[in-house]
Chain A
């Protein structure tokens, strides 16, 4: 490849992108490309589950190769998320799609569910790849590159289940304390999260409802058009007009379907991801409060001279650092998250508006062309029989 060429167009293959010359003043140039596809069903005697193919292409030195292909199941994603939360308790980890869909699921694995989940998992991994800190996480690298048996053995390392459970109990107790001494900026943040969570949940429900209503509208329209064709069979003089109307209704029906698919592709997944994000944010807030509470309880112990003061002072020193790190990490990530959220929401609703514009433009063109065809052929004759009414 010519090292001096720089194509201004979006290259189609990730491989070609990573072969481009990396310029010093473009630190954001992507060097990790991940796709999630090809869901496959696996049946064993114990269970049935789906795996997804994950292809990673990278130019990073720390990776042994430039291309990796692995298969992962949902459990593996859950593991990864857990590890990321453990390593970075106050960073905003991207959300995973839900484990189960509660209502209306007959089969655990119907096609729509799998496809929606696949897209969400793809988003999840790419968001991690785009995150300035998380992208260099070791467990993330293992997830993307290790073969199945390698991953299993890697998973077994680290704190066991019982110690993790113990941690959780302590954490809940501590987080209660942390809320009282929360700094002002985090109070604001918490307030935002509460309101945002409420609103995004409502928007999610409203958007789903709109999709449902549009589906039902489209179904009725499918019956509406053909009646005009049926009618034209008994009206010699109205055949053209009736058939024309039937055709317009059918075209508008197709435009509605298109609008619906736009909604389900652009708006619904984005809104839903932010519903999950809002839950995630509350978790982050809790963890931050926990870390703060740890410090506070030690400080209290020192004041009450409950244990060895020297040891306590040393521990407090460490915890103060920990709290400062955690707070700074969260602050920075918060700004980044807010910025991304605004862009994503704006983008989603702008897309929705555009879909609507196209829809109305299409319908308008359809009806106008029908009207033109009618008035061309129609000779205006004043009829004595038609009464004037207002």
Chain B
């Protein structure tokens, strides 16, 4: 990708709006989807003022296309994940419907977060396709597809094969793979239980709300106790409705954890690339070694290893010295080529490991910072909830009035 000074200018990106649209899909059928408005502002160094430079609409599938492109062209980078495609870890109140306004709102925030992460990544921010994503509305999809990145992508089957058969992967990547498995497993578990806890808490609060109406109706037949019952009933209504905001805030916390759940997959992608390259290297080295051996055997006339050619020669007669010379020559050429390839593969491999590891270190620091902040924000949420709700019960007027 050509260098541009895009990454050097200070920019602000926001996904400011979401809109329901209807259109026709690839099979010319009507469909409803959500489009998101992306606004880019550049900040002038001198006065700090920001100017709107670009604004366009994109849908979720275009974000996916961008990310898949980045995955292929930057396999050594831990590519930031997208917000979830479908609502998962829901508790009963949230609908799993992609059109639900709360879901759309949280997705808008997630998409903005994704763009900001890419824009602040030292390598990814310089990518031209990313720049065009932010600036070129029409034709962007064609431009991406023209890069032919889908063809360059490694086949899943090849990658799986490599994972099983690689003999000497870098130990750090093996450890990283285990770590990412553990991270995914523990965050999934946490999110599942959190959803159940939220569901139960919702139940507790809402059932209290049932007191409201009953107290109110009871107060009609009471003289002295009437006022007290009314105000107690009112308090119960307030208490019951307070849970909605509390759980909405918690949903944002869950989203922060989800991001790192999906980051685990990004980490595994880098590990897989390493395994693939390493396996490729091992195969190339093995191939070279066997060719060298064949050459040696032909040259010295000793047959140490079984080969079909050797057998047929034995059965159907020895080959002529000229034939043998020709074969040695071919092998020597292949060996030369092979050695060149092995050298460059080795170099590539080492470059990859170096670059990947640098990005992984950067990622680790980011993760530690972000997760700690998220966990602390959870505590802050609990504190504000306790204050707000506890205060309601403490209001001396309510229950002592009874």
Q: Which positions in A face B, CB cutoff 8 Å? A: 191-192, 195-196, 199, 202-203, 206, 209-210, 213-214, 216-217, 220-221, 223-224, 227-228, 230-231, 234-235, 237-238, 241-242, 245, 248, 252, 342, 345-346, 349-350, 353, 356-357, 359-361, 363-364, 367-368, 370-371, 374-375, 378, 383-390
B117 near A387 (CB under 8 angstroms)? yes
Digitize B216-253: 1 where CB-to-A-CB distance is under 8 Å, 0 elsewhere: 01101110110010001000000000000000000000
A385–B362 CB distance below 8 A: yes
Could you say which residues of chain A place their CB within 8 Å of the CB of B379? Answer: 245, 248, 367, 370-371, 374
Closest to B225 in A: A342
15 A–B contacts from the bound complex (CB under 8 Å) = A195-B218, A213-B200, A216-B203, A228-B190, A230-B186, A231-B186, A234-B179, A234-B183, A346-B402, A349-B399, A349-B402, A357-B390, A360-B386, A385-B365, A389-B113
Question: A196 to B219, alpha carbons, bound, how many Å?
Answer: 10
Q: Which residue of A lies closest to B375 (CB)?
A: A241
For the A-B complex with A199-B218, A210-B208, A342-B224 known, give 16 more contacts whose Cβ atoms are closer than 8 Å: A196-B218, A217-B200, A220-B197, A224-B197, A227-B190, A235-B368, A245-B375, A345-B225, A350-B399, A356-B390, A367-B379, A371-B379, A387-B113, A389-B109, A389-B112, A389-B113
Q: How far is the CB of B401 from chain A (nearest CB, A)?
A: 9
> B228 near A346 (CB under 8 angstroms)?
yes
B380 within 8 A of A: yes
> Which chain A residues lie closer than 8 Å to B222 at the CB level?
342
Listed from nearest, the 7 A-B pairs whose CB atoms lie closest are A360-B390, A387-B116, A217-B200, A364-B386, A353-B399, A346-B402, A199-B218
**A234–B376 touching, CB < 8 Å:** no
Complex contacts, A359 vs chain B, CB 8 Å: 390
Residues on B with beta carbons closer than 8 Å to the beta carbon of A196 = 218, 221
Contact assessment for B204 and A217 in the assembled complex, using a CB-CB cutoff below 8 Å:
yes
Bound-complex Cα distance A116 to B375 (A): 43
Per-position 1/0 for B117-143, Cβ under 8 A of A = 101100000000000000000000000
Residues of A within 8 A of B200 (CB): 213, 216-217, 220
Given contacts A245-B379, A387-B120, whether A202 and B214 have CB atoms under 8 Å apart is yes
| B211 surroundings in chain A (CB, below 8 A) | 203, 206
Say whether B190 contacts A231, CB under 8 Å: yes
Q: Roughly how many angstroms separate A227 CA and B379 CA in the complex, as a whole number? A: 16
Q: Give complex CA distance A356, B182 in Å.
A: 38
Please, how many angstroms separate the alpha-carbon atoms of A390 and B398 in the complex? Answer: 38
Q: Which residue of A lies closest to B398 (CB)?
A: A353
Give chain B residues whose Cβ lies under 8 Å from the Cβ of A228. Answer: 190
B113: A residues at CB distance < 8 A: 387, 389
A residues near B372, Cβ cutoff 8 Å: 237-238, 241, 378
Once the chains bind, are B383 and A192 in contact (CB under 8 Å)? no
Query: For residue B369, which residues in chain A have a CB less than 8 angstroms away from its CB?
Result: 383, 385-386
* Cβ A371 vs Cβ B376 within 8 A: yes
On chain A, the residues within 8 Å of B208 by CB distance are 206, 210
Nearest residue, chain A, Cβ from B115: A387
Query: How far apart are the CA atoms of A238 and B376 in the complex, in Å?
Result: 11
For A245, the chain B residues whose CB sits under 8 A away are 375, 378-379
- Is there an interface contact between A349 and B371, defined as CB atoms closer than 8 Å? no
Determine the main DSSP class of A at the interface with B: helix
Q: Which B residues have a C-beta under 8 Å from some C-beta of A? A: 12, 14, 109, 112-113, 116-117, 119-120, 179, 182-183, 186-187, 189-190, 193-194, 196-197, 200-201, 203-204, 207-208, 210-211, 214, 217-218, 220-222, 224-225, 228, 232, 362, 365-366, 368-373, 375-376, 378-380, 382-383, 386-387, 389-390, 393-394, 398-400, 402
Q: How far is the CB of B232 from chain A (nearest CB, A)?
A: 7
Question: How far does the alpha carbon of A300 sit from the alpha carbon of B289 in the complex, in Å?
Answer: 125
A227 and B189 contact, Cβ closer than 8 Å, known pairs A220-B197, A346-B228: yes
> Assuming A206-B214, A384-B120, is B382 touching A220 (CB within 8 A)?
no
Min CB–CB distance A155 → chain B (angstroms):
40
Closest to A341 in B: B225
Let me know if B375 and A242 touch, CB within 8 A. yes
List B contacts of A361 (CB < 8 A). Answer: 386, 390
Contacts A230-B186, A238-B371, A245-B378 hold; do A360 and B393 have CB atoms under 8 A apart?
yes
Least CB separation from B112: chain A residue:
A389
- With contacts A364-B386, A371-B376 taken as known, whether A227 is within 8 angstroms of B204 at the C-beta atoms is no
Query: Is the beta-carbon distance between B393 and A234 smaller than 8 angstroms?
Result: no
Tell me the minimal C-beta distance from A312 to chain B in angstroms. 40
Are A353 and B393 interface neighbours, CB within 8 A? yes
Q: Is the CB of B232 within 8 A of A209?
A: no
Q: Is the CB of A371 within 8 A of B197?
A: no
Docked pose: A364 CA to B383 CA in angstroms: 5
Please measure, in the bound complex, the distance between the C-alpha atom of A371 and the C-alpha atom of B192, giving whole angstroms. 25
Given A227-B190, A353-B398, the answer on whether A192 and B390 have CB atoms closer than 8 Å is: no
Give bound CA distance, A255 to B208, whole Å.
18
CB–CB A217/B201 < 8 A:
yes
- Chain B residues closer than 8 Å to A378, beta-carbon distance: 372, 376
User: Is there an interface contact between A220 and B386, defined as CB atoms closer than 8 Å?
Assistant: no
Kindly state the separation between the CA atoms of A248 and B385 in the bound complex, as whole angstroms: 14
CB < 8 Å: which of B12, B193, B204, B214 contacts A213?
Answer: B204
- The reply to whether B203 and A217 form a contact with Cβ atoms under 8 Å apart is yes
Whole-angstrom CA separation of A234 from B260 in the bound complex:
14
The residue in B14, B362, B375 that gathers the most chain A C-beta atoms within 10 A of its C-beta is: B375
Residue of A nearest to B214 (CB): A202
Most chain B CB atoms below 10 A, which of A223, A242, A349, A378: A349
- Provide the residues of chain A in CB contact with B112, threshold 8 Å: 389-390
